[in-house]
Chains A and B, each alone.
Chain A
């Protein structure tokens, strides 16, 4: 596709439920990032994939959050036992090349707005 796409665009769930958020990066981009953005704040790093592997998951807040990228393209962010504090916009970004190679420019998707009731 022409850009990064994310589905669903909006997700409303109840406290305690499980949710999956999907990201389709730009074709050919090897690096994929997940961020969380709360209202009025900048994006907060969650996890970074290089290919199929999670190169840096230091931003995941706790073990309820997990992400996969099994084929090195599409990624899914999974949140178990959702809490009201998980409500935010979850952004995905991709970049062409690995960090340090000069291809660090990140292209963001429109985000998934998650609301936990």
Chain B
């Protein structure tokens, strides 16, 4: 089955700096890769997603890149703000089934 690894487990950055979180997956059949932000006491919230026919996607300060050959994808947050502090999860799915989540990255943006 699918296995998703995520690094780093914790990340601290200064406000205004960029943050990068990386995930690897094992199943070459996976073709949908969402990223979720989870704040304390809340459910995960989708922030961006990418499909396997696209190499990069950007939405304002957030971008995701996908390397299918190497089976890894990354989340990039630019101009970080204190409200970006949360736990971020990557996930991999094959046609919307068999969602497997990474273990999460706790991001702290220091003012």
Q: Report which A residues bind B (CB closer than 8 A).
A: 4, 31, 33, 40-45, 48, 55-56, 91, 93, 95, 98-101, 103-111
Given contacts A41-B104, A42-B89, A105-B34, contact A95 B96 (CB under 8 A): yes
A-B pairs with lowest CB-CB distance, top 4: A99-B96, A42-B101, A104-B96, A108-B43
Which of B14-22, B44-52, B61-69, B78-86 is the contact stretch? Answer: B44-52
* Contacting pair B49 A105 (CB below 8 A): yes
* Contact (Cβ within 8 A) B46 A107: yes
Given A108-B45, A110-B43: A42 touches B95 (CB 8 Å cut-off) = no
Query: Can you sample 8 A-B contacts with CB below 8 Å?
Result: A42-B4, A42-B6, A95-B96, A100-B96, A105-B46, A105-B49, A106-B34, A106-B99
On chain B, the number of residues with a Cβ less than 8 Å from chain A's Cβ atoms is 25
Main secondary structure of the interface of B (DSSP, over half): strand
Q: List, in ascending order, chain A residues with CB within 8 A of B42's CB.
A: 110-111
B: residues with CB less than 8 A from A are 4, 6, 32, 34, 36, 41-46, 49, 89, 91, 93, 95-104
Question: With a CB–CB cut-off of 8 A, which chain B residues contact A91?
Answer: 43-44
- Give the residue among B6, B43, B49, B89 with the most A Cβ atoms within 10 A: B43
- Cβ-Cβ contact count across A and B, 8 Å cutoff: 63
A109 to B42, alpha carbons, bound, how many Å? 8
Given contacts A41-B103, A42-B102, A108-B44, 20 further A-B contacts (CB under 8 A): A40-B104, A42-B6, A42-B91, A42-B104, A43-B44, A44-B101, A45-B100, A48-B97, A56-B97, A56-B98, A91-B44, A98-B96, A99-B95, A101-B96, A104-B95, A104-B96, A105-B34, A105-B46, A106-B99, A109-B43
**Complex alpha-carbon distance, A46 and B104, angstroms:** 18
CB distance from A100 to the nearest CB of B (A): 4
- Cα distance, A93 to B42, chains bound together (Å): 13
For B93, give its contact among A41, A42, A43, A104 (CB under 8 Å): A104
